């Protein structure tokens, strides 16, 4: 009896930790790490031996291969090459070993899903509340020059809201706003579709406008891409596509003409994008030495140089800077693209493993998609699948694949998309 009560208490605590993940991403990496560790610890306390002894599906086996490979390559490169045996290399080796916690995090989330412990309605509600808070805080900072926590603007045209000096508010809104748009129909329970569209439109304008004001260009593109994927997948939504397309352009054009900084970073983004396409053409198609015309191209090129050090197997997790600095005098902490970073650190073998995992996830998703209806209560997997799709969109700039926030978010999405079965798609 006591054991049952204890397990029930642990389950409530675990559900709370999962639901608070969206807030953890506002609080920062320390809180995210703490949350991940607590989820792992309490999962082991609940499931005990069964945490390590359960039937593995294909995704589980592929992930075990990926993490085992990453562990081996990181260890091999550290111990075999004595010239890397310095303080920076040791730090990278420790980070590489710590990467294994995300495998335990994946299995924790998997077991919570399979045993129906996660309350997705609470998760969606907390994520939606956090998105509304960040959006409103950005407008508050726009008007008063300071957010509600006293964070001053640290950039002439980028608003960071509650994130302070970190310019990641746009990325946060892009990652968690889709839960708001899926939550509204079930929480407000509109019977009149016109009222539903009105409220969805208001929230859409608020979030999208706030995202533009953050000055984070790529999240805006990914946000539009997510909705494009959604309309493409669901034929019943095609009749609303033109209306939301109108909202996209109207919201952007109004802010564009009212805000000089938005104009400047839009033109800059267009120029950079053209430069990147020319860079890819020169280095991939023509095989020429590329012109390093902007910062992102330099970072992409540095990733390419680091990859050439270990083409097949990579240099190990967080080895990018060590390998890049052998050839180039200027190296950032990462090449700002998931695929280039994975190639430089896990090589072709690691990239192939990750691509197989992602393709398998989407193959299973689309095979099961016909069994899902457009009713929100039967669609909680869709926002996670959309987010996973844009997270692995190849032509984008990004943070490091192996940082705390990105890795936690990626393996949360993988765990949910891989393990949310058809029989458990209810949100209650």
Q: CA-CA distance, 238 to 230, in Å (whole number)?
A: 9
- Half-sphere exposure for 233 (CA within 13 Å, toward CB): 22
Average pLDDT, the chain: 83
- Of 35, 46, 167, 161, nearest to 105 (Cα)? 35
Task: Collect all residues with Cβ–Cβ distance below 8 Å to 153 and sequence separation of at least 6.
Answer: 141, 145, 146, 159, 160
Q: CA-CA distance, 171 to 222, in Å (whole number)?
A: 9
Kindly report the pTM of this predicted structure.
0.90
Q: Are 127 and 179 in contact (CB under 8 A)?
A: yes
* Distant-in-sequence contacts of 76-83, Cβ < 8 A, 24+ apart: 76/316, 77/310, 77/315, 77/316, 77/319, 78/316
CA distances from 240 to 6, 174, 183, 188, 228 (A): 49, 20, 18, 20, 11
Characterise 241 by phi-psi region: left (phi > 0), alpha (psi -120 to 50), beta (else): alpha
Residue for token pair 């075999």: 80
Least confident stretch, 311-320, 329-338, 375-384, 397-406: 375-384
Average pLDDT over residues 388-409: 91
Reduced to 3 states (helix: H, G, I; strand: E, B; else coil), residue 142 is helix
Backbone angles phi, psi at 146, to 5 degrees: -150, 145
Angle between helix axes 238-258 and 217-233 (nearest 10 degrees) is 160
Would you list the DSSP string of 185-213? HHHS--SSHHHHHHHHHHHHHHHHHHHHH
Q: Are 399 and 406 in contact (CB under 8 A)?
A: yes
**Residue 358 confidence (pLDDT):** 95
Whether 198 has a pLDDT exceeding 80, the answer reads yes
Average pLDDT over residues 325-333: 81
Q: Are 155 and 167 in contact (CB under 8 A)?
A: yes
Q: CA-CA distance, 29 to 40, in Å (whole number)?
A: 16
Residue 4, judged by CB atoms within 10 A of its CB (0-12, 13-18, 19+), counts as exposed
Q: pLDDT tens-digit profile of 269-314?
A: 777 777 777 777 776 666 666 667 677 778 888 888 889 888 899 8
Q: CA-CA distance, 106 to 103, in Å (whole number)?
A: 5
- Two structure tokens written together for 343: 């190639």
- Of 106, 97, 124, nearest to 43 (Cα)? 106
Average pLDDT over residues 230-237: 78
Integer Rg of the chain from CA: 22
Q: Are 13 and 42 in contact (CB under 8 A)?
A: yes
Q: CA-CA distance, 299 to 336, in Å (whole number)?
A: 7
Average pLDDT over residues 184-208: 78
Whether 157 has a pLDDT exceeding 80, the answer reads no
Least confident stretch, 10-14, 224-228, 239-243, 350-354: 239-243
Comparing 154 with 211, the larger pLDDT belongs to 211
**Residue 373 confidence (pLDDT):** 45
Comparing 193 with 182, the larger pLDDT belongs to 182
**Residue 188 confidence (pLDDT):** 60
Q: pLDDT tens-digit profile of 333-359?
A: 888 899 999 999 999 999 999 999 999
Residue for token pair 């260009």: 217
Would you list the DSSP string of 364-385? HHHHHHTT--SSGGG-THHHHH
Q: CA-CA distance, 71 to 230, in Å (whole number)?
A: 37
Characterise 287 by phi-psi region: left (phi > 0), alpha (psi -120 to 50), beta (else): left
């Amino acid at each position: 009896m006591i054991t049952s009560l204890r397990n029930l208490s642990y389950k409530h605590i675990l559900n709370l930790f999962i639901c608070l993940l969206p807030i953890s991403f506002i609080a920062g990496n320390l809180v995210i790490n703490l949350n991940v560790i607590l989820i792992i610890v309490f999962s082991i306390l609940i499931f005990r031996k069964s945490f390590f002894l359960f039937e593995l599906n294909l995704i589980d086996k592929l992930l075990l291969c990926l993490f085992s490979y990453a562990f081996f390559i990181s260890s091999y490169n550290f111990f075999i090459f004595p010239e890397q045996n310095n303080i920076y290399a040791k730090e990278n080796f420790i980070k590489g070993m710590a990467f294994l916690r995300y495998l335990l995090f994946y299995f924790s989330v998997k077991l919570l899903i399979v045993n129906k412990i996660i309350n997705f309605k609470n998760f969606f509600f907390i994520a939606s509340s956090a998105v509304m808070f960040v959006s409103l805080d950005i407008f508050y900072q726009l008007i008063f020059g300071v957010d509600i926590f006293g964070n001053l603007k640290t950039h002439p045209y980028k608003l960071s809201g509650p994130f302070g000096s970190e310019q990641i508010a746009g990325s946060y809104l892009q990652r968690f706003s889709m839960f708001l748009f899926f939550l509204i129909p079930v929480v407000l329970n509109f019977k009149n579709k016109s009222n539903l569209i009105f409220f969805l439109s208001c929230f859409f304008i608020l979030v999208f406008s706030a995202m533009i004001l953050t000055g984070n260009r790529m999240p805006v593109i990914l946000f539009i891409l997510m909705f494009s994927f959604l309309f493409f997948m669901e034929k019943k939504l095609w009749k609303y596509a033109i209306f939301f397309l109108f909202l996209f352009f109207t919201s952007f054009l109004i802010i564009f003409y009212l805000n000089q900084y938005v104009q400047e970073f839009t033109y800059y983004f267009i120029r950079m994008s053209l430069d990147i396409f020319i860079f890819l053409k020169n280095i991939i198609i023509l095989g020429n030495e590329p012109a390093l015309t902007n910062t992102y191209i330099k970072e992409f090129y540095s990733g390419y140089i680091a990859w050439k050090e270990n083409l097949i197997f990579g240099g190990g997790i967080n080895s990018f800077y060590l390998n890049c600095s052998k050839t180039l005098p200027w190296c950032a902490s990462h090449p700002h693209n998931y695929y280039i970073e994975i190639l430089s650190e896990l090589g072709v073998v690691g990239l192939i493993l990750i691509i197989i995992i992602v393709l398998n996830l989407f193959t299973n998703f689309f095979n099961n998609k016909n069994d899902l209806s457009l009713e929100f209560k039967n669609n909680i997997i869709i926002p996670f699948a959309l987010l996973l799709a844009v997270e692995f969109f190849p032509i984008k700039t990004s943070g490091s694949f192996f940082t705390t926030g990105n890795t936690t978010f990626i393996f949360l999405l993988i765990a949910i998309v891989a393990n949310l079965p058809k029989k458990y798609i209810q949100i209650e």
